[in-house]
Amino acid sequence: MTSDANGSDKQCSVLVVNCSGRETAHSQALRLRGFRVVEVAEWPADEIALEHEIVIIVLRRLDSVAVTAARMRAKPRFGNRVLIGVTESAPSAVERRHAILAGYDDLAGESRDSRVLIARILRMLRSRPEYRCLVPDKNRPAA
């Protein structure tokens, strides 16, 4: 686990970059699961992106998938953060593979079940020890 400046465990943080103006159910589902979610409507400055372990890009068009992935991965110290694209409709297997080859960790549709997306995010975080953070278990009562 990483700790913040006060020495306490750091809550997992998701940056949702939504330049499309479309609403998605994923942000609310992530909040309900225990993630700290920050939404922005414009492309984030480098220091904003670096505050989060997970970055979700709500794509205007699927043909911009390679450009947006390259733009995020090129940010200084962006490293191996979890990067996910969200499209208006459910992506095909070919579109998903193309997005992963372009630099995304995953590609999901807006209408896709958020539980699947959250499960994938948690699996990706476990494989990245440099981004250890705490996702409170909402199903367990506080001690």
pLDDT in tens, 53-89: 999 999 887 878 888 898 888 888 888 899 999 988 8
**Contact partners, residue 137, CB within 8 Å, separation at least 6:** 34
Q: What average pLDDT does the chain have?
A: 84
The DSSP element (H or E) to which 66 belongs, if any, is helix 65-73
d(CA 138, CA 19): 30
CB burial of residue 52 (10 Å; 0-12, 13-18, 19+): buried
Q: Quote the strand ranges of 1-143, DSSP E.
A: 13-18, 36-40, 54-58, 82-87, 106-109
In the chain, which residues have pLDDT < 50? 1-8, 140-143
